[in-house]
């Protein structure tokens, strides 16, 4: 039996932020290998396509052999079962995250008792950061330093710049 400690870090990653990266780096101190699992959710409108989200994450980790970038659809518990990795990592930024995360962790365990969720706390400088706020700021013409990787900053500017240009035509 392998002694490798593996975990899955699931999320929407629309887009990945420095907060996610911080959690992954912390996770790598505990786990040997982390699978960053991007949710394909046909019902949820995302800014970036699945391919764009995967590509940005790949670029952030530059082929680090301890990180796998993957996509999943359907239930998280089914995905982790298929992977044979029953440890899920989630970030807890603030008390406001707690209720939703607690509910999700217990529900996942209710469906599959093998699944354990480990919560990691990000650096305080990312405790207010979310993909949703990042998108809003760029959509309204702002940008923020040191909150998203350079590749994401660039993609957000391109995305909203091209939208503005389309609207003006
Ligand atoms: O980055 P997010 O949007 O906070 O990630 C949420 C995610 C993807 C972890 C969660 O929505 C999820 O696991 N979705 C898969 C569907 C599922 O298993 N739903 C039941 C949760 S109890």
pLDDT at 126: 96
Instruction: Classify domain 6-168 at the CATH topology level.
Output: Rossmann fold (3.40.50)
Nearest CA to ligand 1 atom 20: 75
Mean pLDDT by 10 residues, the chain (169 residues): 87 98 98 98 89 97 96 97 98 92 98 98 96 96 92 95 60
* Active-site residue, 131 included: yes
* Active-site residue, 93 included: yes
pLDDT at 84: 97
pLDDT at 156: 96
Nearest CA to ligand 1 atom 11: 11
Task: Enumerate residues 6+ apart whose C-beta is below 8 A from 79.
Answer: 8, 10, 37, 72
Distance of CA 169 to the CA centre of its chain: 34
Measure the CA angle with vertex 133, ends 31 and 17; round to 5°: 30
Q: Choose, from 44, 63, 166, 169, the residue flagged as catalytic.
A: 44
pLDDT at 42: 79
Nearest CA to ligand 1 atom 18: 75
pLDDT at 99: 94
pLDDT at 31: 98
Question: What is the value of pTM for the model shown?
Answer: 0.94
């Amino acid at each position: 039996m392998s002694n490798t400690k593996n975990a899955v870090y699931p999320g929407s990653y629309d887009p990945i932020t420095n907060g996610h990266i911080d959690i992954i780096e912390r996770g790598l101190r505990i786990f040997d290998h982390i699978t960053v699992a991007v949710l394909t959710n046909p019902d949820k409108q995302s800014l970036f396509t699945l391919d764009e989200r995967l590509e940005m994450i790949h670029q952030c980790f530059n082929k680090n052999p301890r990180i796998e970038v993957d996509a999943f659809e359907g239930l998280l518990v089914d995905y982790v079962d298929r992977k044979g990795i029953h440890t899920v990592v989630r970030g807890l930024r603030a008390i406001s995250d707690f209720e939703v995360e607690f509910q999700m962790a217990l529900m996942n365990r209710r469906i599959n008792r093998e699944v354990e969720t480990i919560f990691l706390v990000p650096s305080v400088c990312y405790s207010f950061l979310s993909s949703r706020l990042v998108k809003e700021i760029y959509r309204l013409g702002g940008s923020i330093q040191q909150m998203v990787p350079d590749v994401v900053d660039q993609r957000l500017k391109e995305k909203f710049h091209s939208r503005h240009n389309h609207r003006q035509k």
